[in-house]
């Protein structure tokens, strides 16, 4: 019976170690994503080019005239 408790304890310990490693991994991924989002938010966006009327809209307007 004592040997079985040792196996149970080892299995319990291994399970908690795997869960801790998994949570650490997720935390690291969240931190990396947060840093990436912050970098994207701080990045300078290029100036927007003037928008032209789409060709389709021009065709509709000319056919109505």
Residue 20 lies in a domain: yes
Mark residue 22 as left, alpha or beta (left: phi above 0; alpha: psi -120 to 50; beta: remaining).
alpha
Residue 48 lies in a domain: no
For tokens 């004592």, what's the residue?
2
What does the pLDDT read at residue 26? Answer: 99
Number of domain units in the chain: 1
51 part of a folded domain: no
For 12-65, what is each residue's pLDDT tens digit? 999 999 999 999 999 999 999 999 999 998 887 776 666 666 666 666 666 665
C-alpha span between 62 and 65 (Å, rounded): 5
For residues 4 and 32, give the distance between their C-alpha atoms in angstroms, rounded to a whole number. 42
pLDDT on residue 5 = 93
Write down the pLDDT at residue 57.
60
Q: What is the model's pTM?
A: 0.56
Residue 39 confidence (pLDDT): 92
CA 24 from centroid of its chain's CA atoms: 16
Domain that includes residue 13, residue range: 1-37
Does 2 fall in a domain? yes
């Amino acid at each position: 019976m004592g040997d079985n408790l040792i196996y149970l304890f080892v299995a319990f310990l291994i399970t908690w170690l795997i869960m801790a490693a998994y949570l650490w991994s997720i935390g690291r991924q969240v931190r990396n994503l947060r840093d990436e989002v912050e970098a994207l938010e701080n990045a300078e966006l290029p100036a927007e080019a003037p928008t032209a009327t789409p060709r389709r809209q021009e065709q509709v307007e000319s056919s109505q005239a």
